[in-house]
Amino acid sequence: MIQNKPFLFAAAALLTASVISGGVMASGSGPHWTYEGHEGPANWGELSPEFAACGAGKMQSPVDLADANADGQVTVDFNYSPAELEILNNGHTVQFNVANGSTMTSEGKTYTLAQVHFHTPSEHPISGKPFAMEAHFVHKAEDGQLAVVGVFFNEGASNAALKDVFTNAGTATAHEAKVAGASVDLRGVIPASPTFYRYMGSLTTPPCSEGVNWFVVKEPVEASAAEIAAMTKAFGHNARPAQNANARKIMKPAN
């Protein structure tokens, strides 16, 4: 397990507030930031003292997964149930919140799924090359520690598990709304037998708080060109560039 326990527990409250109370960082919450220009990723750390980790942090996410430098077996058990669709656009991403008790367990620790959001293109590249899209499944343990499962998307067949998300992305507003008759097959989004990159990192948006457990699925899934275009149209380019690995241990998939 790659962790610094004193830091993780000290940061737990800030991490929870940043992620759970409004997605990645809700529009209108805290200083304004964007993905381009003066308020873009290169300057996030200078926009506010509360964003200092974005510039000064040493365990920032995302990272280029080609920097994976350690071998090890990473096992994740998913206990996901289908969820009613409760969708919103917080100004930086489209996300849907989950409150049906779905969980993931790794290394004996269980995390409850809180929300899923999207980035186009993917935030984690491999040798500098991103995928078309990346979904982040954000979980929280009872002690406040966060775990994020990243899932890559290539352009291909329509994604049945997320069909209702893509259909409603363009009409999502800043206010969470339940979509009548719409649902998400949470387990159906993730490959049946996934393998993982594993490392300790941060939120990929301000305040860029560190102490986040990352599990990035090696095997990409598919979404149609129209589905990816719908997400891109809803929020545009919203991928933070890869950050310096700083000699961190980044575990690569076992196969």
Catalytic positions: 92
Cα dist from 46 to 28, 51, 59, 102, whole Å? 18, 7, 18, 37
- The CA distance from 236 to 227, in Å, is 13
Residue 196: strand pairing partners: 217
Residue 219: strand pairing partners: none
Cα angle: 150, vertex 187, 146; to 5 degrees: 45
What is the total residue count of the chain? 255
Six-digit token string for 185: 């097959």
Using DSSP, state whether 44 is helix, strand or coil: helix
Six-digit token string for 145: 């520690």
Six-digit token string for 195: 């393998």
User: How large is the greatest C-alpha to C-alpha distance in the chain, in angstroms?
Assistant: 48
How crowded is the C-beta side of 55, counted as CA atoms within 13 Å?
13
